[in-house]
Amino acid sequence: MNDRRLQLRVRGVVQGVGFRPWVARLAARYRLGGFVANRGGEVVVEVEGSGPSVAEFLGRLTAEAPPPARIDAVDLAELAPRGERDFRVAPSGAGEQALALPPDTAPCSACRAEFADPADRRYRYPFISCTGCGPRWSILTALPYDRSHTSFAAHPLCDACEAEYREPGDRRFHHQATSCPRCGPRVRLVDPAGTILGEGDAAFAAAAEALAAGRILAFKSVGGYQLLVDARDAGAVARLRARKGRPAKPLAVLFPDLAEVERHARLDAGTRDALLDRRRPIVLLPSRASLPDAIAPGLAWLGAMLPPSAVHDCLFAHLRFPLVATSGNRSGEPLCHRDDQALARLGGVADLFLLHDLAVQHPLDDSVVRVIGGQAVVLRAGRGFAPVAIPAERAKPGTVALGGHLKASVAVSAKGQLLLGPHVGDLESGEAEARLIAWADWLVRQGGGQMREVVCDLHPDLGAVVAAARLGLPQARVQHHAAHLGSLLAEWQDATPLLALLWDGAGFGSDGTIWGGECCLWDGRRLVRVGHLHPFPLVGGEAAIREPRRVALALLRVAGAAVPPALESAFAPGERALLERLLEAGSHCIPTTSAGRLFDGVAALLGLCHRNRYEGEAALRLEGAAEEGRVEPLPMPLVEVEGRLLLDWRPLVRALVAGRAAGEPVGRLAAAFHEGLAAAVTAVAERFGDLPVGLSGGVFQNRRLAEAVCRRLGERGRPVLFHRRVPPNDGGLALGQLWWAIKGGDGDVSGNTGTRGRALG
């Protein structure tokens, strides 16, 4: 007897993840009538039947949704029964809805079994997937998630795939990306002129042979192009670096399986789980130094990943050695994702191109994860991890935030939520800015709105700020470190009072100087700067960011310490004298409180890095040099000046110089430096009662520092808020800016009034 009809509006990750077919099978199990349908960014379910059956259905729906589906909320409404006995998957609809865009994931175990079975019709099929796995966001053109809104619309189903799509009991029932070798996309290998050298499996075989011979392959993944070379071949790696224009920045390594990873890196339970995550990120691992140093010059870590798609699995069916896998672009340019674009831009880089005709709608860099304190922390939110959806009751469509200049990403408001988009990269080109704006516009439109307000940084000259001005929309401005805090509070869904340590390389302060080692109090309404690192000058401004030796010279001058031999040799004759005259006169010197620059200066003092060849090199080398285990911290006392705390690094620098002169090992001094910072953070926390402590900013990507801080605070019973899903670096700034804009509060960072538009944070 049908005596109850219930409507459920389900929000979360519920489109493109096999949720509707699973709901249909669950309804059939309880002999319920009704329908399930995509509506904008949510799923609407109506079920009708006996009261006990409907109640049982509801309980199982919320408790047993299959991964990668994730239910965030279910709104219920009782309806009058209609006597409906059949259950159907209904046509989709649109509207202003919360957005939950489905992520790309690696093939599931069932698809992998088919892929490896010579008797299966999808044996070694590059685009094998089902309702539980495969490409999603990268091939999506619009919401709701239907085949007509994906790149597979260009590939009509054959009879066999159509039968699977219509069969309720099949794993591919209503799977929008269903395809097979008969009806799906095609693969081909071409030379830089576009001449076809092989198709299908033969293309993969020829590509593998070329890689083994030391050639560079431009490889079209499901999220865009990668550049691949044999990771064992130092000469091939050097050629890739020279052609791409990436002389020293670390390169990721793609391994065929977990056993091969363990040959070249050390794993524990946390890093193993991160590698095997269905989204297949790059995971930073301690290296065994068994691959050429040219992959990550001078570093103790290796960025490792497992095959993220069946396209990669097809290549590894013909080779079993690790491959360097880096973004398919020249340095400073956005990721290539169209075939014509790749052939035009990478023709002087790659020897061969492995292409396919599945259009990539949203180019996605690989995500990067680091395990800190046993927890996976996202350092770059790309394929599989973005967009990041954060509930926000007050949010309505139309507000966009453009983040910072480095590690740029966009964040947009939708109905009841904030979304942090994928990593775009540094805004070094007009094309990168255009991609940022295009994603903002697309995401807002999918939420049923249009851009009506833009939020950006206080710095007047950043690429994101210039891009914001071009939009001609009302602006709000958020101070850089307030945005870091906003990203942390948005992720934790927590606005309770806390002490925030906001440490990074540089952020434009509301007093016009460069901040970066900030201690702030958040009372749930306002943000107040209560302390920071003792200031020091950046001689030559941005030149000091590129040259840690300049920072070291400034630190020594402020600390009143002599220049050690390790630093003297870093300067040409007369060069040091010129810089010292500038320091003496205060000419071309910009004051900073940057923790990131302090790391740079200490790395130079220890002889680890005098010039940064890429952002963060000196800090990475300093962390890598630190020996394991606990050591006595170098001194960093707190000094109170005019009601503000200064973390005084000057005794630390003097102790560092003295220790080096006495012959103490660099590794021990590097470890003592990290412990000194952690002890100083703990001392600051003890000045503010039992408040929780929040950590944000790129400096806290440093595992050694973050774990030391958390350990010391944990020993004192202090709760610590740290990032997990949202990058602690500038990749999270856009979300933090958006959080302030939606909150609409009167937060204040040291009298922040902004420069244009209304100021927040």
Share of the chain above pLDDT 70, in %: 96
687 lies in the same domain as 636? yes
Query: Looking at per-residue confidence, does 331 or 336 come out higher?
Result: 336
Between 66 and 77, where is the model more confident? 77
Same domain? 356 vs 403? no
pLDDT for res 466: 82
**Distance from C-alpha of 369 to C-alpha of 366, rounded to nearest angstrom:** 10
Which carries the bigger pLDDT value, residue 259 or residue 469?
Answer: 259
Q: Tens digit of pLDDT for each residue in 95-145? A: 445 566 788 999 999 999 999 999 999 999 999 999 889 999 999 998 878
Does residue 285 carry a pLDDT above 90? yes
How confident is the model over 651-684, as pLDDT tens digits? 999 999 999 999 999 999 999 999 999 999 999 9
Same domain, 320 and 449: no
Grade residue 544 by pLDDT with cuts at 50, 70 and 90.
Answer: very high
**Residue 207 scores a pLDDT above 90:** yes
Strands, E assignment, 553-683: 589-592, 638-641, 644-647
Split into its structural domains, the chain has a count of: 4
- Given 59, 89, 119, the domain boundary residue is 89
Residue 749, domain extent: 371-480+734-760
What pLDDT was estimated at residue 609? 96
Mean pLDDT score, 726-743: 95
Question: Binning pLDDT at 50, 70 and 90, where does residue 751 land?
Answer: very low
pLDDT at residue 101 in the model:
78
pLDDT at 746 over 70: no
469 and 513 both lie in a single domain: no
d(CA 603, CA 613): 14
Same domain, residue pair 222 and 344? yes
| pLDDT for res 1 | 64
Is the CB of residue 37 less than 8 Å from the CB of residue 91? yes
| Contacts with 650 (C-beta within 8 Å, 6 or more apart), sequence order | 534, 558, 559, 560
Query: Does 471 share its domain with 512?
Result: no
Q: Domain check: are 510 and 578 in the same one?
A: yes
The residue ranking higher by pLDDT, 352 or 756, is 352
Q: State whether 340 and 466 are in the same domain.
A: no
pLDDT at 124: 98
pLDDT higher for 431 or 113? 113
pLDDT grade, residue 19 (50/70/90)? confident
Report the mean per-residue pLDDT for the chain.
Answer: 92
Looking at the structure, do residues 623 and 721 belong to the same domain, yes or no? yes
For residue range 361-405, list pLDDT tens digits in order: 999 999 999 999 999 999 999 999 998 989 888 888 899 999 998
Same domain, 515 and 415: no
Q: Do both 439 and 296 map to the same domain?
A: no
Query: How far is residue 305's CA from residue 147's CA, in Å, rounded to a whole number?
Result: 29
CATH number at residue 27: 3.30.70.100
The mean per-residue pLDDT over the stretch 445-468 comes to 86
Instruction: Say if 239 falls within a structural domain.
Output: yes
Closest CA relative to residue 420, chosen from 386, 446, 450, 452:
386
| pLDDT attached to residue 42 | 81
According to DSSP, the residues that pair with 539 across neighbouring strands are: 589
CATH of the domain at 325: 3.90.870.40
Question: What confidence score (pLDDT) does residue 342 get?
Answer: 96
CATH of the domain at 438: 3.30.420.360
Q: Which amino acid is at 238?
A: A
Helices vs. strands in the chain: H and E counts, helices first: 23, 32
Sheet containing 758-760: give its strands across: 388-391, 417-420, 411-414, 399-401, 453-457, 475-478, 758-760
Name the nearest CA neighbour of 633 among 668, 609, 602. 668
Same-domain pairing of 441 and 416: yes
Is residue 491 situated within a structural domain?
no
